[in-house]
Amino acid sequence: MNLVTPLLIMTTAAAIAQPASTTRTTFHRETSVATTIKADESIIWALLTNASDYPRWNSTITAIQGTIALGEKIVLKSTLDAKRSFKLKVKELQPAKKLVWGDGKGQRTFTLRNNGDGTVTFTMHERIGGLMFPMYAKYIPNFDESFNAFAADLKKEAELIQKKAN
C-alpha cells in the first residue's frame, strides 16, 4: 500500500483554503477549488495567462500551445490524461479578474478577487456535461487531486515571485 500519495494529497489540500470538491447530477459534474494567495493579482494573472510557462510551475499541466487571449484556441496537455490533447477556446477574459476556457463538453473558469489586504482569493471551477454526459461520465477521472495541486502550485509560485522581488 502506498502511504506517501494520500499524505501528499492531504498536505496539498491542507495548504489551500477550500480544497477541491465535486458535485454530480445526471447530466453534469462540477469541481471547484479556492485558495488565498499573498501576491499581487497581476503576478497571478501573468502566471495564468502565459501559456508556454505553465509546465515550469504547474505540476498538472505538461504543455499549453497557443496564446491565452480572447477568442484564441489553445491545445492543453494534462497529467490527468497524458495521451490526450484538449483543444479549447478562450471564451472570456477580464484582465486580472476572470478567465474562461472550454470546449463543447465543458468549461473552466478562473477568478481572482482582490481582498484589499495584500491577498487575492483564487477560485477555479470546471463544469462538464450535457445530454450525452451519462454515456461518457465513467471515463472522466476525478479532478479533485489535480485541482488541489493546481491551486497549491499557483499559490507557491505567485508568493515566491512576490517575496523574491520585494
Q: Which of 43, 88, 99, 100 binds another protein (CB under 8 A)?
A: 43
Nearest-angstrom CA–CA distance, 107 and 128: 6
Rounded to whole angstroms, the Cα distance separating 108 from 123 reads 10
Measured distance CA(93)–CA(108) in Å, rounded: 12
Q: Does 117 bind another protein (CB under 8 A)?
A: no
In whole angstroms, the minimum distance from the beta carbon of 47 to another protein comes to 7
Would you count residue 140 as binding another protein (CB under 8 A)? no
CB 165 → another protein: shortest distance, Å?
4
Alpha carbon distance 4, 2 (integer Å): 6
Among 31, 41, 143, 150, binds another protein (CB under 8 A): 41
Question: Rule CB under 8 A: is residue 37 a binding residue for another protein?
Answer: no
What is the grid cell recorded at 103? 470546449
Looking at residues 48 to 67 of the shown chain, list those that interact with another protein (rule: CB under 8 A). Answer: 50, 52-53, 56
Stretch that binds another protein, among 103-111, 132-140, 145-153, 157-165 (CB under 8 A): 157-165
Assess contact for 148 and 16: CB atoms under 8 A.
Answer: yes
